[in-house]
Structure 1
């Protein structure tokens, strides 16, 4: 099991989670952030700092967000498990499902 970033992150990318992740397993795509499931140690540090409640434990994903487990995992098909988002930096891509979404509005 792992933590998963879902739809509320799209077009927001607050990045507070990046600052608290002790192993740097949260990677930045063009429109959202993604958790590398093989690198995540399930510490949960990311979940409470997300301002839009986009991060969930895999078993606790709300209805409608279930597909984001695959979205997070499949994002890494091309780059694998680099071991640290700091080494990779922003990835100029998104999962096809995310790339196809209309622009997301965030109110705050």
Structure 2
């Protein structure tokens, strides 16, 4: 895995990173965005455009959000309604659109307060 989306994205999902990603590897869950660890090319284009500073290179992920590295990868192992098996590596977020699930850690969180405009 290269880049990880952490807690500040939960319930915010600004999507500036999605528009900046040249390989379409940022997927939308119900409450958070997720970077596909096998599709990301480690370009770093997503990190500086995140308005809530939720994206980190894996080696720079703060200890308080270390669990998001596993949770981000777990999102792609979820069994989705209407699919045979896990999401896996579908090769592009745009063709799937928003997905009705979140990884376990994100799904377990209380609703996050949205920052003011």
Gaps of 5+ in 2: 78-85
Residue segments in structure 1 that go unaligned for 5+ positions in a row: none
Aligned mates of 2:25, 2:115 — CA distance in 1: 27
Instruction: Work out whether 1:82 is the aligned partner of 2:90.
Output: yes
> Helix, strand or coil for the counterpart of 1:85?
coil
> Is 1:67 aligned with 2:75?
no
Instruction: State the shift of 1:106 in Å.
Output: 2.5
1:103 aligns with 2:111: yes
1:37-96 CA distances to partner (integer Å, 9 max, x unpaired)? 000000000000000000000000012111111111110012000010011111110011
TM-score for the superposition, normalised by structure 1? 0.97
- Return the offset for 1:17: 0.3
Q: Is the 8 A contact 2:68 2:105 kept in 1?
A: no
For these two proteins, the number of residue pairs brought into alignment is 108
Which of structure 1's runs of 4+ aligned residues deviate more than 6 A?
Answer: none
Matches within 5 A, 1:1-108: 1-77=1-77, 78-108=86-116
TM-score scaled to structure 2, two decimals? Answer: 0.90
The 2-side partners of 1:72 and 1:83 are apart by: 16
Q: Distance in 2 between matches of 1:45 and 1:7?
A: 19
CA RMSD of aligned residues (A): 0.8
